[in-house]
Amino acid sequence: MPGRVMSEDDNSPISAREARRLFAGLKAAPALVLAVSGGPDSVALMWLAARWRRALARGPELTVVTVDHGLRPEAAREAREVKRLATELGLPHRTLRWRGAKPKTGLPAAAREARYRLLAQAARAVGASHVLTAHTRDDQAETVLMRMLRGSGLGGLSAMAGVSQRDGIVLARPLLDVPKAQLIATLKRAKLGFADDPTNRDTAFTRPRLRALLPLLAAEGGDARTLVRLAARLARANAAVEVLADGAERFLRLRDRDVAPQVGIRSFEASAFAALPEEVRLRLLLRAIDALGHEGPAELGKVENLMSTLDRAMAGPGAAANGRPVLKQTLAGALISLAGGRIQIAPAPARRRKGR
Ligand SMILES: Nc1ncnc2c1ncn2[C@@H]1O[C@H](COP(=O)(O)OP(=O)(O)OP(=O)(O)O)[C@@H](O)[C@H]1O
């Protein structure tokens, strides 16, 4: 099948009308933090948000925040450049530094974690309800691809949500359906410069390597739009499974009404649990382990292994008999046991905790 040809719209600058639609849900917020690295996407976000806000009689206060991860010598200069642009647009700007030890492995993930923590702190400091990032449709497609290669579950393959919560702050991605090419066109039209972060092309990292694959996939018909559509469909299925898991949890609790609830312990009747669909059982285990374990979140693959072990133990002799547990296993700081026909999930004893 020939590759999809980009529509003209994919390359056109974003109009004021289109920007009003992108930011429509944010009008009533008291204040917004714009996360701006100085790269093209986030400079475009800043410019579009400033233009949108100027056209409103009343609307949220905007504050631009740049995080300097302390990893590249140019970062401080780039932050100053963002400040200059923000000031030109009449917006206040703050630079926040990631201090402390940097890990030797998993540096991009640790930097991202630190960045979101600092952005949430900045939002609280200025009374903002939301942090806005400039993730684009291309970023979303890369995320889908990364997670496909990792063999992620439904939740992971749903990729990034347009709106989510983090540390009590709403994380919004208003440009998630916008192709990067449109942001570049917007910058060109506005005659705005931006920083070129070489890490984005550094093939020592997975994401840039996968980014290079995207044109090849597009030539086979799997362009960004297709990958993003896949993520949206899986997000829908994922939301449905979550609702089923809510219902199953209520059902199991109802069946448990004769059992005195113990604080900090979840317990399911094993036969009722076994009758549920596999994906729902996995969610229930994941939820209980994440809620009660102290090393979460649990890895999906490990919970899948645990469930196979549980299935075998439930089918084996002695599972329903009272007495010694037929299974006892720790996972992500939670202790899972099967005894007397019940599955029980509790915090793992302190002495089993990592590093103690
Ligand atoms: N150092 C940073 N300071 C503030 N916000 C950042 C920073 N790095 C990333 N972000 C935010 O997170 C979004 C996605 O991050 P990602 O690493 O994909 O962006 P980037 O390639 O560094 O920069 P850009 O998306 O601006 O081109 C950015 O669009 C931006 O909104």
247 a known binding residue?
Answer: no
37 a known binding residue?
Answer: yes
Asked if the structure places residue 26 within a domain, the reply is yes
pLDDT tens string 22-80: 999 999 999 999 999 999 999 999 999 999 999 999 999 999 999 999 888 888 999 99
On whether both 144 and 58 belong to a single domain, the answer is: yes
15 a known binding residue?
Answer: no
On whether both 183 and 315 belong to a single domain, the answer is: no
- Model pLDDT, residue 155: 95
Confidence check: pLDDT of 331 > 80 = yes
On whether both 93 and 198 belong to a single domain, the answer is: yes
Asked if the structure places residue 247 within a domain, the reply is no
CA of 119 to the centre of ligand 1 (A): 11
Confidence check: pLDDT of 168 > 50 = yes
Confidence check: pLDDT of 216 > 50 = yes
- Model pLDDT, residue 3: 39
- CATH no. for residue 79? 3.40.50.620
On whether both 90 and 226 belong to a single domain, the answer is: yes
User: Which of 104-113, 175-184, 193-202, 289-298 has the highest average model confidence (pLDDT)?
Assistant: 175-184
Asked if the structure places residue 318 within a domain, the reply is yes
Q: What are phi and psi of 11, to 5 degrees?
A: -115, 0
40 a known binding residue?
Answer: yes
Contact by Cβ (8 Å): 176, 162? yes
CA 34 to ligand 1: nearest atom: 31
> Structural domain of residue 161, as residue ranges?
8-233
Pull the structure tokens for residue 58: 């009343």
Q: How far apart are the first and last CA of the chain?
A: 57
Confidence check: pLDDT of 5 > 60 = no
On whether both 226 and 278 belong to a single domain, the answer is: no
Average pLDDT over residues 199-209: 81
Q: How confident is the model at residue 195 (pLDDT cuts 50, 70, 90)?
A: confident
Asked if the structure places residue 3 within a domain, the reply is no
CA of 84 to the centre of ligand 1 (A): 17
Which residue of 32, 37, 207 sits with most ligand 1 atoms within 8 Å of its CB, as the best mutation to test the pocket? Answer: 37
Of 233, 248, 276, the domain-final residue: 233
CA of 81 to the centre of ligand 1 (A): 15
Contact by Cβ (8 Å): 314, 268? no
Beta-bridge mates of residue 10: none
Predicted structure pTM score? 0.87
Other CB atoms within 10 Å distance of the CB of residue 115: 18
Asked if the structure places residue 242 within a domain, the reply is no
167 a known binding residue?
Answer: no
Lowest-pLDDT range, 101-110, 124-133, 150-159, 223-232?
101-110
Q: Whose CA is nearest to atom 7 of ligand 1?
A: 37
Mean pLDDT, the chain, whole residue set: 90
pLDDT tens string 335-345: 999 998 899 99
CA 68 to ligand 1: nearest atom: 1
On whether both 14 and 140 belong to a single domain, the answer is: yes
CA of 14 to the centre of ligand 1 (A): 19
- CATH no. for residue 347? 3.30.465
Which amino acid is located at 133 in the chain?
T
Contact by Cβ (8 Å): 227, 145? yes
Q: Whose CA is nearest to atom 23 of ligand 1?
A: 39
Confidence check: pLDDT of 2 > 60 = no
On whether both 263 and 221 belong to a single domain, the answer is: no
User: How many domains, the chain?
Assistant: 2
Q: How confident is the model at residue 1 (pLDDT cuts 50, 70, 90)?
A: very low
pLDDT tens string 241-297: 999 999 999 998 877 665 555 667 888 899 999 999 999 999 999 999 999 998 878
Which residue of 69, 77, 133 sits with most ligand 1 atoms within 8 Å of its CB, as the best mutation to test the pocket? Answer: 133
Of 202, 233, 264, the domain-final residue: 233
* Percentage of the chain exceeding pLDDT 90: 71
- Model pLDDT, residue 4: 40
On whether both 263 and 227 belong to a single domain, the answer is: no
pLDDT tens string 82-96: 999 999 999 999 999
Asked if the structure places residue 189 within a domain, the reply is yes
- Model pLDDT, residue 73: 86
- Model pLDDT, residue 257: 60
Asked if the structure places residue 331 within a domain, the reply is yes
Q: Which of 14, 70, 10 is nearest to 46 (CA)?
A: 14
Q: Whose CA is nearest to atom 12 of ligand 1?
A: 133
Q: How confident is the model at residue 6 (pLDDT cuts 50, 70, 90)?
A: very low
- Model pLDDT, residue 232: 97
Q: Whose CA is nearest to atom 27 of ligand 1?
A: 39
Asked if the structure places residue 238 within a domain, the reply is no
Of 218, 233, 248, the domain-final residue: 233
Query: Pick the residue with more confidence: 108 or 111?
Result: 111
DSSP letters, 81-104, are HHHHHHHHTT--EEEEE--S---S
Give CA separation, 101 vs 40, 70, 76, 97, 324, in Å. Answer: 29, 11, 18, 12, 46
On whether both 297 and 187 belong to a single domain, the answer is: no
On whether both 95 and 171 belong to a single domain, the answer is: yes
CA of 42 to the centre of ligand 1 (A): 6
On whether both 223 and 78 belong to a single domain, the answer is: yes
Q: What are phi and psi of 152, to 5 degrees?
A: -65, 165
On whether both 152 and 217 belong to a single domain, the answer is: yes
Lowest-pLDDT range, 14-23, 93-102, 155-164?
93-102
CA of 268 to the centre of ligand 1 (A): 43
Ligand 1, residues at Cβ distance < 6 Å: 35-37, 39-42, 65-67, 115, 133-135, 139, 197, 200
42 a known binding residue?
Answer: yes
CA of 327 to the centre of ligand 1 (A): 46
